[in-house]
Structure 1
Amino acid sequence: MSDLTISRVEAVPYAIPYRKPLRFASGEVRTADHVVVRVHTAGGLVGTAEAPPRPYTYGETQASIVAVVDQVMAPALVGTSALDRSVHRARLHRTIGNPTAKAALDMAVWDVLGQALGQPVHRLLGGWTDGMRVSHMLGFDDPAAMVAEAHRMRDTYGISTFKVKVGRRPYRLDVDVVRALREEFGDAVELYVDGNRGWTAAESARALHEMADLGLTLAEELNPADDVLGRRWLVGRCPVPFVADESAPDAASVTRELLGGSATAVSIKTARTGFSESQRVLHLAEGLGVEVVVGNQIDSQVGTLCSVVFGAAHEATSRRAGELSNFLDMTDDLLAEPLQIRDGRLLAPTSPGTGVVLDEERLTRYRQDR
């Protein structure tokens, strides 16, 4: 095995526009202004991942991710071995917050380990299956436009599971959208909703009542978890699993939300918990007997590849469709070999590591620090 001593860490900001704005209750995204994180070893291996800043959710920006990696986290990792993952966790967690920066570093180190061992990371993590069914996120629009997008995703990629963004006021705007989707597709598609904390508990309850006949399978973050009593009241009346997402970004908060009655299911996003922390969250959820869904951070193909690596590795994460398709909304991407969704599924890579191989020409074209 080559020398796995970490010799250098780099953070490269880049920006690629989306084809259209992606709108939801907590914000709007027009450009993937992400950060490529690469971990270099003395033996010549390079692990790659990315950090997507979401200032309206975690407080991170592209500039803050670059700064914290360069100034704080890289010095903490350089000189350690890629095998020292517990050391890495302890050192990185001395810095409060910054979840996507920490996650990207963790996944880049796993990429190094997979390459060193000549094994795909999804097999090192568990190797349950070869891929995942795909769910597509539908952002705010009028009913006809959202139905048309769902048709395009189903006809082109075979996707039959849709996460519908809700949380607008009046709530009937979103009820009408979900009803239009169900009337158009019947039982041929799975539908679930995500409010991004946009409604109150009372609005959420009324909306769920009006959608009771539409066969929803999940409801995610309909109102803020900080509305402690209202959230518990709502979850106690929700007819489907109520998913904690941005309210439960780590294992400790997952414990708090589940045991406090503020959620009955968990969204796992490798973009914010990497592979190591995501496994902690998954094992906690399994121990408590709650369902999980692999979520999306409006990831590029780089982030999506890491999501399917983790999701395909475990039985629990592969039961439901993973949110793995929103890279299709980008005007370009960075992978040398683009991802292919076929028959509604995305396969995990079989090459050593996470399978992330960048097109260096594209990275040069889109990077923001030169």
Structure 2
Amino acid sequence: MKILRLEAIPYSIPYTTPLAFASGQVAHAEHVLVRIHTDDGLVGEADAPPRPFTYGETQASMKAIIDSVFAPQLIGLDPFDRGKVHAVLGRTMHNQVAKGAVDIALWDVLGKALRTPVHKLLGGFRDSMRVSHMLGFRPAQDLLAEAQRFREEYGISTFKLKVGRRPLALDIEACHVLREGLGSDVELYLDANRGWSANEALEVLRRTADVGLTALEEPCDAKEALSRRRLVQQSPIPIIGDESVPTAGDVSRELLSGGCSAVSLKTARSGFTEATEILGLCSGLGVDVTMGNQIDTQVGSVATVVFGAAHEATSRRAGELSNFLDMSDDLLADPLRIRAGRIQVPALPGVGAVIDEDKLAHYRQDATSPSPH
């Protein structure tokens, strides 16, 4: 079996409720659907969400790097020769989300060729994953109403609150309002998206000591090396690295320098292959991991569930899986469902994300003729 061609299909779907956070705001899912075609007629698929304010990649840059750089070098390779494929991808610096999508699409091909769910190829630990929901920048009472609705409708009992780049008092108020309104049996943790200084983060932790927060994600820029290390040393809860740890090498740097004490894994930026490397590194060092969200569509959320449920370490915490509910539509033919706070792993061969071709034709932003590659 050989790789015949690659497609990078840009598309756009509006959100019904834009998600705002410290490093930006998302009102449309302007993503890229990546497809790997083989000469056996198999097609592997994955979703690539550009986040220019976080990783520097845009919809246009991801399509360009896949069409112009990756595709010419990957055509003709056997999809099972994953080492050769990653040697090609590794020649190009950065572009982590584009690489991650190519990797997941490759795994999708392998699973379909073997007629086996990728979830089982990765480990097959559980058949579902617990869901965490992200709450964006809104007044405290509105955040509480949203959390109560998601708990009632979907059974979700873990919430991540986006904070940073606004008066500290607003974020602190939101923490207290959520805890008082939701009770003690709901898990709450924070994500500042580099929106604070390390000293501001320490102040927030001091003023929310009675709230029972379980973690603080990416409180400040990793460039604040000394202050961030002091924050990690003084924090009573885990400090999760996210934007600072997109690769296994970055994870090693941050953990060894004391820049974080836990790691957010995102399959959208690491694919399954590097995510496995990062997970092995963290497990060997006894470092907790959580499955993060790149403001994924349902296609991307399927990939997160497939990887997260496959391993014991990634199954311990709720994965950030529900923000597709804020989208007006999606590309999946069989929409994801959250029941009793969990999402089931698809039982189909491959990754399990089946695309509705009519929806893709409606939302795609390019000509519908196939790529020359």
Relative to the length of structure 1, the TM-score reads 0.98
Is 1:276 aligned with 2:273? Answer: yes
The residue type equivalent to 1:300 in the other structure is: T
Aligned twin of 1:99? 96
Relative to the length of structure 2, the TM-score reads 0.98
Deviation string for 1:138-162 (max 9, x for gaps)? 0000001100110111111110000
Unaligned runs of 5+ in 2: 368-373
Give me the whole-angstrom Cα distance separating, in 1, the residues matched to 2:285 and 2:260. 12
Contact 2:133 2:322 in 1 (8 A): yes
> Aligned-pair distance for 1:31?
0.4
- 2:305 counterpart (285, 289, 308): 308
Classify the secondary structure of the residue corresponding to 1:33.
strand
Aligned twin of 2:73? 76
Give me the whole-angstrom Cα distance separating, in 2, the residues matched to 1:181 and 1:97. 38
Aligned twin of 1:59? 56
Deviation string for 1:175-225 (max 9, x for gaps)? 100110000011121000000000111111000001111111111011111
Give me the whole-angstrom Cα distance separating, in 2, the residues matched to 1:207 and 1:76. 49
Classify the secondary structure of the residue corresponding to 2:309.
helix
Is 1:194 aligned with 2:191? Answer: yes
- 1:151 counterpart (130, 139, 148): 148
- 2:354 counterpart (342, 354, 357): 357
> Aligned-pair distance for 1:75?
1.1
Give me the whole-angstrom Cα distance separating, in 1, the residues matched to 2:122 and 2:83. 16
Give me the whole-angstrom Cα distance separating, in 2, the residues matched to 1:93 and 1:168. 35
Is 1:44 aligned with 2:62? Answer: no
Aligned twin of 1:259? 256
Classify the secondary structure of the residue corresponding to 1:273.
helix
Give me the whole-angstrom Cα distance separating, in 2, the residues matched to 1:171 and 1:76. 49
Contact 1:168 1:174 in 2 (8 A): no
Aligned twin of 1:298? 295
- 1:24 counterpart (9, 14, 21): 21
C-alpha RMSD of matched pairs (Å): 0.6
Aligned twin of 1:208? 205
Give me the whole-angstrom Cα distance separating, in 2, the residues matched to 1:63 and 1:79. 25
Deviation string for 1:82-129 (max 9, x for gaps)? 101111111111111100100000000100111111110010000101
Contact 2:2 2:75 in 1 (8 A): yes
> Aligned-pair distance for 1:263?
0.4
The residue type equivalent to 2:300 in the other structure is: G
The residue type equivalent to 1:183 in the other structure is: E
Aligned twin of 1:85? 82
Runs of 4+ aligned residues of structure 1 deviating over 6 Å after TM superposition are none
Contact 2:18 2:326 in 1 (8 A): no
Give me the whole-angstrom Cα distance separating, in 1, the residues matched to 2:116 and 2:165. 45
Give me the whole-angstrom Cα distance separating, in 1, the residues matched to 2:63 and 2:331. 18
Aligned twin of 1:245? 242
Classify the secondary structure of the residue corresponding to 2:62.
helix
The residue type equivalent to 1:321 in the other structure is: A
Aligned twin of 2:371? none
Classify the secondary structure of the residue corresponding to 1:223.
coil
The residue type equivalent to 1:200 in the other structure is: S
Give me the whole-angstrom Cα distance separating, in 1, the residues matched to 2:362 and 2:219. 39
Classify the secondary structure of the residue corresponding to 1:102.
helix
Give me the whole-angstrom Cα distance separating, in 1, the residues matched to 2:257 and 2:344. 36
Give me the whole-angstrom Cα distance separating, in 2, the residues matched to 1:344 and 1:21. 23
Counterparts of 1:198-237 in structure 2, within 5 Å, are 198-237=195-234
